[in-house]
Structure 1
Amino acid sequence: MENTIAQPAATRTNIALAERIPATFISNNTYYADSVVGADILEQVKALLPKIAKNAEQAEALRQVPDENIELLKGIGLHKAFQPKVYGGLEISLPDFANCIVAIAGACAGTAWAFSLLCTHSHQIAMFSKQLQNEIWLSNPDATASSSIAPFGKVQEVEGGIILNGEYGWSSGCDHAEYAIVGFNRFDAEGNKIYSFGVVPRKDYVIHDNWFAQAIKSSGSKQLVLKDVFIPEYRIEKAKNMMEGRSSGFGLYPDSKIFYTPYRPYFASGFAAVSLGIAERMLEAFKEKQKSRVRAYTGANVANATPAFMRLAESTHQVAAARALLEKTWQDHKVHGENKHYPNTDTLAFWRTNQAYAVKMCIEAVDRLFAAAGATSWLDQSELQRLFRDSHMTGAHAYTDYDVCAQILGRQLMGLDPDPSMV
């Protein structure tokens, strides 16, 4: 098995993380930005955080990302993070991008969740045919896509493509997207399933507002309804090809550092980044609350209570460990792309499961603090209860379910074939 964790190069620009991780463990902790663009856009994101945080309650009430948040983030070009440069994209590295999402998640998890997916889908689209990419980005360089990739739809094979019917749920950020990527199964001559993706323009589907959730409410993860939608072959790719470097768009950008890689690790990266951002904000919010908290019956100052110190210390260590694991994993993605070293199955198993384990640690760290934050933390206006709810939602996605991931990695470590029942 190859070493799947790469060390950061010493020559990368040093950017302090003081505004985003607790001061208790950042004295020598630095972020290695590989480009001026990546470092600059992170600083621009930080400047937007007060406005995004101010909109958090409104975002929950709307049950989707507020237009203002989208406009702010598009205004600094973050939506172009993984768009090919030929269409005006930035092609920033995964570590740079992920740290932007971590920062946004501390202000509004739903905004970070939805916007992350709008960005990472551009990486996936860049692996489709050049015809599709031209169709999307030559007409609108700012176009993005939401997705719903579970194969819920019913396929009818027709000349030149398929007719698709189906109801596709959980399409985060769909209100702000011009396209959708949907999953479906086709069948070969022997009747074997061929899991595939198709790209559909906004005019071809209806958004059904059924997003009534208890957490990450502002992601706007609504349902897409497709009725007799024709999807031509140039808008279709096999999922297996997109994971093995055999898709129509693979190799179109030989000078790029981010497209010599499977789509899935980029698609999944935002989930763990959101969880980390929530956990890092929880550390700060807990400290802020404890400093002024007095026990109602005794008048004791909780800020001086040893149990609060101990819980904060352990959660701080746990969040720091989660960040370290994620940073090394994201850096490994980056190094593979730069070296045009396509990841093997061992590497992919670690990438897939490292992120889920980091999410598990972040949720545990949040739970430890919330359990000792007092009854007022359960009130609707409390930021802590929102962080608690949103944290748990980050572990509910198919890609962050650690029970699944532990089985995936365990089978890989024992040299067993993957279980096809696990995504």
Structure 2
Amino acid sequence: MNKENPMLDKLKTILPVIAANAGRAELERKVPDENIALLKSIGMHRVFQPKQYGGMEISLPEFTDCVAALAGTCGGTGWAFSLLCTHSHQLAMFSRQLQDEIWGDNPDATASSSIAPFSTIREGNGGVYLSGEMGWSSGCDHAEWAIVGMRRANAKGELIYSFGVVPRSDYEIRDDWYAVGMRSSGSKTLVLTDAFIPNYRIEAAKDMMEGSSSGFGLYPDSDIFYTPYRPYFACGFASISLGVAERMLVAFKEKTQKRVRAYTGASVGTATPALMRLAESTHQIAAARAFLEKTWQEHAEHGRNHQYPSRATLTNWRTNQAYAVKNVHCRR
């Protein structure tokens, strides 16, 4: 899609360095500090941060184009950094008090997450005490805060899936991430032991999906915050898959262009089977991009029109992304 995207233009200037660091990222099992510094130098960590704190509030289609380009350069960096970005969108739906605490003195602050409710809680005065081993917190080495999942009982005793936000001082990072192919995401385990989370740092997931969280309505002139948190949180995963698939096409062409068969000397890159697979993959990935772009444009249009999406619309958006990812990867 031809459109102006200043953030993508800035990103392209640093991608060669991030590409050169890909091997190092796998060895270090996290996003290299240099990559984070470069991405922050162009302000990409602030794309979904409220303008009140110096953020950019760019559109979802602009962001997903950037994530696809970044993921095609280093998948782990794209995965971890996109989450640091989308978490800012989620934090903007928490209380003003929390947002002031996070960004008031450090507008560059980011949060990682571990949202599966693998935790135990006990009620305290004005909040809860949380303990647990919270896994898969991508990019946690570079975050000042973490969003963690819990199930908290309401007045009726019902367990409500909720999120709590804790500062880096309240948890340890267990260096246990060795997943093949995604070591560079640094998705390690956060260990919390009786970490106190005050009520102003807690929101029910249901409220954040229905426009009734503490932060909803704080930014009435914004296009990107009149929405549930989850479409923005989930968009990075599909755009990462798209970027990796698009890079696969380039890598395949580069690998086969000058390759010859050992016994016959025939060119692999011009052989009919290779060209047929390349052609099919090219069309599949182009179709997936077009489908995803249409979906992300619908997200943006709802925001611009301040039209809160229905459950049916949300379901359609989410399954669209899953279907597109399936199509670009199921036959590779």
Residue correspondence of structure 1 range 218-229 to structure 2 within 5 A: 218-229=184-195
Moved more, 269-278 or 183-192: 183-192
CA distance in 1, matches of 2:257, 2:3: 33
The residue that corresponds to 2:299 in the other structure is 333
CA distance in 2, matches of 1:231, 1:100: 34
Residue correspondence of structure 1 range 244-255 to structure 2 within 5 A: 244-255=210-221
Q: In the alignment, does 2:44 pair up with 1:78?
A: yes
Q: Unaligned regions of 5+ residues in structure 2, if any?
A: none
The residue that corresponds to 1:113 in the other structure is 79
Q: CA deviation at 1:346?
A: 0.8
1:154-184 CA-partner distances (Å, limit 9, x unpaired) = 0101110000000000000000000000000
The residue that corresponds to 2:201 in the other structure is 235
Point out 4+ residue stretches in structure 1 off by more than 4 angstroms: none
CA distance in 2, matches of 1:310, 1:250: 50
* Matched pairs, number: 332
Select 1:292's aligned residue among 243, 254, 258: 258
Corresponding residue SS for 2:133: strand
Give the TM-score normalised by structure 2: 0.99
The residue that corresponds to 1:409 in the other structure is none
The residue that corresponds to 1:411 in the other structure is none
Q: CA deviation at 1:226?
A: 0.3
Q: CA deviation at 1:215?
A: 2.0
Q: In the alignment, does 2:15 pair up with 1:49?
A: yes
Letter matched to residue 287 of structure 1: K
1:225-274 CA-partner distances (Å, limit 9, x unpaired) = 00010000000001000000000000000000100000001011100110
Residue correspondence of structure 1 range 180-259 to structure 2 within 5 A: 180-259=146-225
Letter matched to residue 82 of structure 2: S
The residue that corresponds to 2:312 in the other structure is 346
1:4-49 CA-partner distances (Å, limit 9, x unpaired) = xxxxxxxxxxxxxxxxxxxxxxxxxx3334xxxxx11100111111
Q: In the alignment, does 2:89 pair up with 1:123?
A: yes
Residue correspondence of structure 1 range 4-403 to structure 2 within 5 A: 30-33=1-4, 39-364=5-330, 367=332
CA distance in 1, matches of 2:188, 2:293: 31
Corresponding residue SS for 2:269: helix
CA distance in 1, matches of 2:3, 2:217: 27
Corresponding residue SS for 2:2: strand
Give the TM-score normalised by structure 1: 0.78
Alpha carbon RMSD of aligned pairs, Å?
A: 0.8
Q: CA deviation at 1:66?
A: 0.3
CA distance in 2, matches of 1:247, 1:350: 23
1:340-382 CA-partner distances (Å, limit 9, x unpaired) = 00000110001111111111112135x1xxxxxxxxxxxxxxx
Q: CA deviation at 1:87?
A: 0.3
Corresponding residue SS for 2:217: coil
Moved more, 290-299 or 66-75: 290-299
Sequence identity (%): 68
Letter matched to residue 40 of structure 1: P
Letter matched to residue 298 of structure 1: T
Q: CA deviation at 1:290?
A: 1.1
Q: CA deviation at 1:299?
A: 1.2
CA distance in 2, matches of 1:221, 1:359: 21
Q: Unaligned regions of 5+ residues in structure 1, if any?
A: 1-29, 34-38, 368-423
